[in-house]
Structure 1
Amino acid sequence: MSIMLELAVLGFLYDEQLHGYELRKRIAALAGHVRPIADGTLYPLLKRMERAGLLVRELQPGQAAAPRHMLALTADGRAALLDRLRAPDELDITDENRWFALLAFLRHLQDPTAQAAVLRRRLDFLTQPASFFWEGDRPLRAADFDDPFRQGLFRIATATTRTELTWLRETLTSLKG
């Protein structure tokens, strides 16, 4: 989660300076359905990122209250995001939640060739034989189960994958043009 969380921090702060609470709300909207973002997770991460020189904290006057600490990316933070987008690790490609976080900010990588390279990696991953359950070397399919819950799992996953494959192919075509 912390790798995905760091990517989300970099991505949202690439867009604009944010107060910690606003940043937390945006991250929760992106990934909160997976696991809510606790203050005890976010704020220590922000401090580590600040010590690493990826972000700075600036005191700005509040609109109606006390001054607020706004977070902004440094040049190193901006470069770190672009590096992560240009060369995501394998889990950024294969883990659905990390993929969604990467996809949310891929627009910041303004080179269509580099964007396409990332999308092709995901396409390659999705077109490999896969299953939630295996019998030896044979991937099991929905038809292999009498269990309506496992059948549902497969049906939902198959529909989602088909939709993503269509989108990936369409987007790769548009990036070439």
Structure 2
Amino acid sequence: MLELTILGFLAEQPLHGYELKERIRALSGHVRPVSDGALYPAITRLLKAGKLAEHTEPGASAAPRRTLSLTEAGRADLLERLRHPKEADVTDGQRFFTVLAFLSLLPDPADQAAVLRRRKEFLDTPASFFYREGSPVRAEEMADPFRQGMLRVARATGAEERRWLDETLATLAG
């Protein structure tokens, strides 16, 4: 996910490391903060793979800044990751939000729709956080008010997401 996020933000514009880290933090930091120990090795891997380029710019009042930009190989990798996200990138809500943040970079609405249909198929599969005798437990059946709250919030969120998916898929279909 971190590499997808790096590629996505650099597809929008070249950035130096601190700016990139701030954008990643704003996108998902409250849920999954990114550390320098994760970010800079990921940048190094992408540089070595030829997916990023870097050049040095003078700093405003400090040392020179390393500015990163996306290469054609990086753009191709980004588009491939968006066209064919991993299963976990579709089924995990926060990871799916990261895919959504950059899905508009795919130029073909049919490719965008294919990703959204995968998410909708996942959401339409019956599931629950809790099971009794192999069957999902509904919110109304929960005596524990906190578990009941989890189920009610998940149901409401899922219903709204399905509505949005249906609307967006209709729009993409033209």
Which TM bucket (shorter chain)? Answer: over 0.9
Letter matched to residue 144 of structure 1: E
1:33 is displaced (CA, Å) by 1.5
Q: Does 1:142 align with 2:139?
A: yes
Residue of 122, 140, 162 corresponding to 1:165: 162
Structure 2 partner of 1:81: 78
User: What TM-score do the two structures reach when normalised by structure 1?
Assistant: 0.95
**Structure 1: how far apart are the matches of 2:171 and 2:64?**
46
Q: Does 1:31 align with 2:31?
A: no
1:61 is displaced (CA, Å) by 2.3
Question: How far does the alpha carbon of each residue in 1:89-141 deviate from its partner, in whole angstroms, 9 at most, with x for none?
Answer: 11111011110000000000010111111100100000010111112331111
Letter matched to residue 46 of structure 2: M
- Percent of aligned positions with the same letter in both sequences? 57
**Structure 2: how far apart are the matches of 1:35 and 1:79?**
26
Any gaps of 5 or more consecutive residues in structure 1? Answer: none
Letter matched to residue 108 of structure 2: D
Residue of 104, 108, 114 corresponding to 1:107: 104
Structure 1 partner of 2:41: 44
Q: CA RMSD in A?
A: 1.0
Structure 1 partner of 2:127: 130
Structure 1 partner of 2:63: 66
**Structure 2: how far apart are the matches of 1:76 and 1:35?**
27
Letter matched to residue 100 of structure 1: F
Q: Does 1:119 align with 2:116?
A: yes
Residue of 11, 16, 26 corresponding to 2:13: 16
Any gaps of 5 or more consecutive residues in structure 2? Answer: none
Letter matched to residue 163 of structure 2: T
